[in-house]
Structure 1
């Protein structure tokens, strides 16, 4: 019997991911890569972030080594799934990634052309965002310092197969959400760039008269990040921010994290703190909108007033290239608090800073609002996928009508948003 879009009583068939329509194969990447100065680019887990491949500093492996892993040699449209750390994070290989390979920390899900035409790949990518998927992947991962998901466990993930009318309706909603998200990210970026422009204009105004300089450590309280400490049983945890999350954050506002940690009260940074993380060629500064614990190689700054916070944020954004001189290590991914606290920035009068903050804060409100709208749309889509026509996991049935065993969702750890 065909399930109509309005019929919410008929459970959808469920299959394991390895049997999902149109999947050609799933594969591990390269286990022991031999890194070379030039060769075939290789994507690792840290490059897969928020649905995108962030390959700023490419890792290369010898051509012969890559050729020994043909199943993970990328084609456009391949789905990349993180297996280590941020388990379940996904991205889609683009045209530019043709012929690249991946590390063993990333799984490659390859599709048959006809399944991509039917957008089954889009359905699976969004199903991996649901609480059902995340709970299963968390439960199936090891409990080591870095959670690790076996490929076999990924292949056993239960995925619903909605009937065509329902699937078309929900895929249209997913496509709308993705297009709207692209627009929202662009609006947020433009709002932040306009605030940057106001800052430069304020600097030019200051240039017409003597302007004092202050060290960063004089205008804000600086703290260093801590290592991730997984909880034991019922320990209270706080959102933990890795330097990669700071560096790859799509907007200037960071309000969600993928990990939680056990931390001492002094390690927790209040909402409105600035987080600073370096990498080769750049130092990135973002503004938190929730309580967070910064990770190692991340510095946090707390200011007393919005005027100080806005001026400091845009000062550090304006000087992100100059700040790279403070970065240490072969990959320039660390920065000493002592050196950073001595860094000088222009510090005009209270009146100038307050006037700038008034303009900048309004633009930050706009940027944050459109980002939250994107999150709300994603939550709506995920809700429709899991609640609109699909029963709870404990009630799923196979294509033959047999019930599939599942863990009780009430016993699984919640992956709460920051």
Structure 2
């Protein structure tokens, strides 16, 4: 599979600039609160749009939502754009989620499929990200309005250029998805091994979590982090960093901070590599294993076993008790978890020999997952390079005042943009 990008010398002066509004592309947004997506099946919120895909919520046993408002019903081929928190993330709507309802944190772009895909790619470019940063308001959470999204400028290269970029980005994302699926299968295999081994543990082999592990509650918030520091830094982990991970590993956490921020883990305040970081939301507990010194912020609990070889048993035991952990949460939407609440959690704890044997069995599966997470990080870096190339070729975007003559090979806007339809399609 080969994808040829436009050469560096390609003529980009011919790329016309337009906006979603000027192009007459239909846009709208949902009206439900994001909380509904945690309670009702058939609702897509910003939480579920990640890495170019819409993730199905883990609430399939809930009653389905039937929206009386047709304008917020997703259709196959729509582009779902995040308007709140992770602003600008987007994903195409496939048949799996066609007919679902969007919350108010989701903008809906409805146009021709190839143009929707180009907009999805453009929203990831440094130029678009800078525009988003300039438009974001943060009364409570970072937000971009649907009105601002309609005014966003974007370039429209010749169709062959668009096709080349779509091909390259598509192949990279296909590889990322393949690696994520394989890593997920490795962890599901380890979960299955744990469930099998736990089923043979004699009755009564339960301990309180506080008896077999050390726990620390995170403190502070992302806003409390200093903007820059010359002191040594560690990874700083927030709840959102742990949500919707395909496997319990992160190559690079997005935040850094001085060692004294967040929850303190003995000795020295920072939590050592191999610490289990845990947070919750209504769909269950979410965990990740650190591979560098780290510190948790509020609503994240650091957990590490008293014995090194107990790590994999402890991790999979906590994964298996996701529902029990959620019952110990407090606050709105089951998002407040603390070490004190977790200390009384009962866990299945076989003899030391069994735990050590499980470690030997599970370790190769974790090695596979860690390796694939590293490969995914490399592929994402490659995708970022392609996105920078798009920004560089697009140059500075300016609102066109008058229509300009088209150069040969550049299609008119009407040839590639869907006609505007008043009131929505």
Q: 1:226/1:61 Cα in 2 relative to 1: closer, same or farther (>3 Å)?
A: farther
Residue 223 and residue 126 in structure 1: after superposition, are their counterparts in 2 closer, same or farther (change >3 A)? farther
Computed over aligned residues only, the root mean square deviation of the Cα atoms, in angstroms, reads 4.1
> How far did 1:171 drift?
2.0
The answer on 1:75 being equivalent to 2:37 is no
Distance 1:319 1:230, change over 3 A: closer
Structure 1 window deviating more from structure 2 (180-189 vs 344-353): it is: 344-353
SS of 1:265's equivalent in the other structure is: coil
Question: Compared with structure 1, are the counterparts of its residues 383 and 37 closer, same or farther at alpha carbon in structure 2 (3 Å cutoff)?
Answer: closer
Query: CA 1:280–1:217 in structure 2 vs 1: closer, same or farther (change >3 Å)?
Result: same
1:302 and 1:36 map into 2 onto residues whose CA distance is 32
Aligned partner (choices 131, 136, 139) of residue 134 of structure 2:
139
Q: Tell me, yes or no, if the aligned pair for 1:230 and 1:262 is still in contact at 8 Å.
A: no
Q: TM-score, normalised by structure 1?
A: 0.75
CA contact (8 A) 2:208 2:347 kept: yes
1:71-220 → structure 2 map (5 Å cutoff): 72-111=72-111, 115-116=112-113, 119-203=114-198, 207=202, 213-220=206-213
Q: Is contact 1:269-1:300 (8 Å) kept? A: yes
How far, CA to CA, are the matches of 1:131 and 1:291 in structure 2?
A: 30
Gaps of 5+ in 1: 402-418
Secondary structure, in 3 states, of the residue corresponding to 1:95? Answer: coil
1:221-240 equivalent positions in 2, closer than 5 A? 221-226=214-219, 228-230=221-223, 234-236=227-229
Q: Counterpart of 1:134 in 2: which secondary structure?
A: helix
Does 1:378 find its partner at 2:396?
A: no
User: Conserved in 2, the CA contact under 8 Å of 1:253 and 1:287?
Assistant: yes
> 1:63 Cα shift?
4.6
Structure 2: distance between partners of 1:279 and 1:32: 15
Aligned residues between the structures: 388
The equivalent of 1:368 in structure 2 is 370
User: Residues 116-164 of structure 1: CA distance to partner in whole angstroms, max 9, x if unpaired?
Assistant: 1xx2322321232233322321232124441121333333434333333
Q: Which consecutive unaligned segments of at least 5 residues does structure 2 have?
A: 264-269, 406-425
Report if the CA contact (8 A) 2:225-2:257 is conserved: no
Checking the alignment, whether the CA contact within 8 Å between 2:234 and 2:295 is kept in structure 1 is: yes
Are the aligned partners of 2:127 and 2:391 in contact in 1 as well (CA < 8 Å)?
A: no
Larger deviation, residues 389-398 vs 248-257: 389-398
Q: Distance in 2 between matches of 1:275 and 1:335?
A: 12
Listed one character per residue, the Cα deviations across residues 94-134 of structure 1 (whole Å, up to 9, x for unaligned) are 334434433332211111xxx31xx2322321232233322
- On the 8 A contact 2:5/2:164 being kept in 1, the answer is no
2: distance between equivalents of 1:388 and 1:174? 11
Match of 1:404 in 2: none
Per-residue deviation at 1:187? 0.9
Q: Determine helix, strand or coil for the equivalent of 2:222.
A: coil
Where 2:277 maps in the other structure, the secondary structure is strand
Give 3-state SS (helix, strand or coil) of 1:198's partner: helix
* Corresponding position of 1:250: 246
User: What is the CA–CA distance in structure 1 between the aligned matches of 2:283 and 2:366, rounded to whole Å?
Assistant: 26
After the TM superposition, which of the residue ranges 340-349 and 308-317 deviates more from structure 2?
A: 340-349
Note the alpha carbon deviations across 1:375-404, whole angstroms, 9 max, x for none: 322331331242279437448897849xxx
Once the two structures are overlaid, the 10-residue window that deviates more, 362-371 or 213-222, is: 213-222
Between the aligned partners of 2:369 and 2:5, the Cα distance in structure 1 is 39
Q: CA offset at residue 18 of structure 1?
A: 0.9
Distance 1:216 1:96 in 2: 39
